[in-house]
A and B are shown apart, each in its own frame.
Chain A
Amino acid sequence: MPLPSPFHERTASLCESLKFKSWAGYFAVCSYESHPDPEYFAFRNSAGLLDITPLFKYELSGEDSAAFVSYMATRDVSALKIGRVTYSCFCDQRGKVIDDGTISRLDEQRFRVTTGSPAYAWFLQNSRGFQVEVEDVSESIAALAIQGPNSRRILAELVGPGIEDLRFFGLVAARIAGVEVEITRTGYTGDLGFEVWIPRDGALSVWDAVMAAGKAHGIMPVGLDALDIVRIEAGFLLQDVDYFSAPRCIIESRKSTPYEIGLGWTVALDRSPFIGQKALREEKQRGSDWGFVGLEISWEGIEEIYTEYGLPPSLPTQACRMAVPVYSTGRQVGQVTSSTWSPILKKYLALATVEAKQVEIGNQLRVEHTVEYERMRVLATVVERPFYDPERKRT
């Protein structure tokens, strides 16, 4: 049975649909009403407020904290400035991805790392020889994502116009409703947005203040269903859906390296040793077996196969996490792991892992699609990720 998050009192009373699921053992709202459309449009058009407390959060402090984080992550954080955030993979010795998350430098000797799965033991186990203290702050810190084009205006009302200066992947300490918080300009929506890190006791005060300030700016509480659509539009992958955490895999073939899941850009090879460095260097030289791509599934193709049955085309109203095979000239070359109809782009989008030689932009593949219990194949083209990338995200 999941536990209530510190925001549960608010989210539960607003959640008319009673649709919850467990996210890392917490009750998390899927969608507040019967379907997620209005929440999706809040993210893209005004602002959405999402409880992200279930993320795992760790504070790493001490003399060697920078060296330790750099050793654990594929990124080198020794040069990360105080008040900056970065995104990284964490790998095992074989270069297989264990987790992905953000790393914030709170101080010269203090970092906060977020992960999708519990990582305390793994940090601890690798900390021998480093002057570093690992603290699991997952429960003591509540967190909210405020995402969407109006998010900055809402925060400006709460913390002053200084927020305008917070750059993409920046961090600033602030006070909301009397509660000391940290605000990072990060998120999982691919839009302008912020995440607020709040001491547990102040959670409700901050929620109330944000909702009140956001009212005139069209804020809506948002659940995970809408998040799933926007994160696919943004081309972001999700652990346990688009890749699996290496130590939790039973078979080798389920594991992925950062290069294979499109996160090669987070790997800084030529530097001080880090876990997985050797294997990743070898892979970089040899070339990867798999690649991660964005696919645009032909809507005309979808219409065609439905027309054969005399049916109007229909798609799930939510993002789909069911893996389906991808083919090239009749042979299976990979799988779609997430897919969604993009209400803004009017396109049927998918994230897929395919053989490395299939990753070129413009490459035409076929994706399985079932109509009337029959498995059909529809044209899909490899396109650039992110599918949706508004300028406001960075400016």
Chain B
Amino acid sequence: MSDRSYDSIVIGGGHNGLVCAAYLARAGQKVLVLERRHVLGGAAVTEELYPGFKYSVCSYVVSLLRPEIIRDLQLPKYGLEILPLECSFTPELDGPGLVRWPDADKTRREIARLSKRDSEVYPLFGREMAKVGRMVKPILEMVPPDPTSLNPANLMEMLKLGRLFGRLSEEERILQAKMFTMSAIDFLDEWFESDLLKATMGVSGIIGTFQGVRSPGTAYVLMHHYMGEIDGAFRAWGISKGGTGMISQAIAESAKNLGAEIRTEAGVAQIMVRAGRAKGVVLEDGTELTARHVISGVDPHRTFLGLCEAGDLDAEFLASIKKFKMRGSSGKVNLALDRFPEFTCRPGDGMHVRGDLAIAPSVDYLERAFDDAKYGDFSRRPFMNVVIPSLLDPSVAPPGKHVMSIFVQYAPYAIKEGPEAWPERREAFGDAVIETLAEYCPDLESSILHRQVLSPWDIEQQMGLTEGNIFHGELSLEQLFFMRPTPLWARYQTPIRGLWMCASGTHPGGGIMGASGANAARRILKSRVRA
């Protein structure tokens, strides 16, 4: 084989692309990863945009990174360390706020302040979710079966799936049907009465979607996040030491050690297709590289509408890809802080702020935030998920100083002035975020040393995520599992032979999970055996 010929070429050095490459290299393939930017990681990057302060620029928390991937690829050896976010804090303007602690009794007492009834129901709810999650977990590892296929292997997978469903009791199946159809708030209403608690819990149903907490289907997304798994046990979220870029770094190092070649500043211009088969890629500088497998680690829109020639795909397929909803709905604000900003309702830098903080004071607040977005504007008073990673990981800021990571929703890609108007609206959006947060944290503004504001348009331009969608396509029910990204092509394969997909736009998608990359690698390796 010549230098320019590979077994597999992975387009995009995001975490899924890197995971896929690592598994393929582990199986003995000659693998090349091509990354357009100067840094690896895609949306999982750490960048020092202000001296001494390391931002997890986009993606900032990990919950779903599969433990078996961590073990298989020996990621701790390459620097991966996940620090659990122990608490979850929802501050209030006119009360002490709500903190959910790792200690069940402490949480019960905390919730009892809002509702004694809710405080006792809360652990039962968690147990029910764990049961349903238990059923979903094996599905995450499973290549989604094609429900229309009669292929025996496929039937086995369907059977396995059927068995998983079958193991659920009737109540659990009902619960599941509800999760698939209800809104997050309707679903929570069946369990809880406290508005603050429901708002706090309900936000998990809208993260990364262009839907409100009262939109049907959001109950499923709620559970998708509820599966946040650390240590193989169903538990909370974590951050990566050194920022999320360290996850990508660790996977890249592992992949390299397994023999994969990784190039940065090597953007792919086109996927070469001959006679319906992918033959390789053409780089932006015109270099042609050939491979038996071309694996796209970028989102379905960019893959098929950006890197393929229209003539290589049939019209029906193209139409279904165009229908696949991207609709970025969130932005990100990263701050370098001179000191710890005190929260008025619960001062101090104790355990309560060493987790994630939600600005979600009421259900109506969240729904109103969505109202702004529905009509093409960013939320004046947005939902925010805030993490101060430097409290847990002092290595990301100089001693005594802090980094604050603020996930903001809603910031629709398609604002009414048009997405390209975002550069003019960006700072106004940033101001709305700071103003909102400053209501809870009056010290905030004066402690800011540097701020980075990312609109979905910026995320698209910089990270290459179409419409700035953090999940490579909305995690709404009709875009999941055997329908992700389209019903007939959900098995990491594409209509072009030898062209595969391995990123968040495929099952199971969403978050720094690595499952799509690992599943795709498994499929590709099997296909080789067959050939």
Known contacts: A44-B81, A312-B234. The answer to whether A346 contacts B399 by CB under 8 A is: no
CB closest residue in chain B, given A303: B232
CB distance from B284 to the nearest CB of A (A): 38
| CB-CB contacts below 8 Å: B218-245 with A | 230-234, 241
Q: Which residues of B contact A120 (CB under 8 A)?
A: none
Contact status A34-B233, CB under 8 Å: no
Known contacts: A300-B68, A344-B81. The answer to whether A312 contacts B354 by CB under 8 A is: no
Contact status B233-A315, CB under 8 Å: yes
In this complex, the member of A35, A218, A299, A346 whose beta carbon has the largest number of chain B beta carbons within 10 angstroms is A346
Does A329 interact with chain B (Cβ within 8 Å)? no
A314–B106 alpha-carbon span in the complex (Å): 22
Contact status A38-B86, CB under 8 Å: yes
Contact status A46-B394, CB under 8 Å: yes
Contact status B71-A217, CB under 8 Å: no
Does B147 interact with chain A (Cβ within 8 Å)? no
Q: A30-70 toward B: CB 8 Å interface, digit per residue (1/0)?
A: 00011101100100111000000000000000000000000
Contact status A37-B68, CB under 8 Å: no
Contact status A37-B84, CB under 8 Å: yes
Q: Which residues of A contact B395 (CB under 8 A)?
A: 45, 149
CB closest residue in chain B, given A37: B84
Contact status A33-B68, CB under 8 Å: no
Q: A327-360 toward B: CB 8 Å interface, digit per residue (1/0)?
A: 0000000000000010111110000000000000
Does A189 interact with chain B (Cβ within 8 Å)? no
Contact status A312-B102, CB under 8 Å: no
Contact status B394-A216, CB under 8 Å: yes
Q: Which residues of B contact A216 (CB under 8 A)?
A: 394, 399-400
Contact status B231-A345, CB under 8 Å: no
CB distance from A16 to the nearest CB of B (A): 10
Q: Which residues of B contact A300 (CB under 8 A)?
A: 68
Known contacts: A37-B84, A37-B86, A217-B394. The answer to whether A343 contacts B231 by CB under 8 A is: yes
Q: Which residues of A contact B351 (CB under 8 A)?
A: 33, 38
Q: Which residues of A contact B71 (CB under 8 A)?
A: 299, 345-347
Contact status B67-A346, CB under 8 Å: yes
Q: Which residues of B contact A299 (CB under 8 A)?
A: 67-68, 71, 232
Q: A274-314 toward B: CB 8 Å interface, digit per residue (1/0)?
A: 00000000000000000000000001100100000010111
CB closest residue in chain A, given B83: A41
Contact status B232-A343, CB under 8 Å: no
Contact status A35-B102, CB under 8 Å: yes
Q: A173-201 toward B: CB 8 Å interface, digit per residue (1/0)?
A: 00000000000000000000000000000
A310–B172 alpha-carbon span in the complex (Å): 13
Q: A222-262 toward B: CB 8 Å interface, digit per residue (1/0)?
A: 00000000000000000000000000000000000000000
Does B393 interact with chain A (Cβ within 8 Å)? yes
Does B392 interact with chain A (Cβ within 8 Å)? yes
Known contacts: A343-B84, A344-B76. The answer to whether A45 contacts B392 by CB under 8 A is: yes
Contact status B83-A45, CB under 8 Å: yes
CB distance from A320 to the nearest CB of B (A): 15
| CB-CB contacts below 8 Å: B41-76 with A | 67-68, 70-71, 76
Does A5 interact with chain B (Cβ within 8 Å)? no
Known: A34-B103, A35-B102, A215-B400. 11 other contacts (CB 8 A): A33-B351, A35-B103, A45-B83, A45-B395, A216-B394, A218-B392, A300-B68, A312-B134, A312-B234, A315-B233, A344-B81
> What are 29 sample pairs from A and B whose C-beta atoms fall under 8 A apart?
A35-B102, A37-B102, A38-B86, A45-B83, A46-B393, A149-B395, A150-B394, A216-B394, A216-B400, A217-B394, A217-B399, A218-B393, A299-B71, A299-B232, A303-B232, A312-B130, A312-B134, A312-B233, A312-B234, A313-B233, A341-B231, A343-B230, A343-B231, A344-B82, A345-B70, A346-B70, A346-B71, A347-B71, A388-B76
Q: A residues touching B (Cβ–Cβ < 8 Å)?
A: 33-35, 37-38, 41, 44-46, 149-150, 153, 215-218, 299-300, 303, 310, 312-315, 341, 343-347, 388
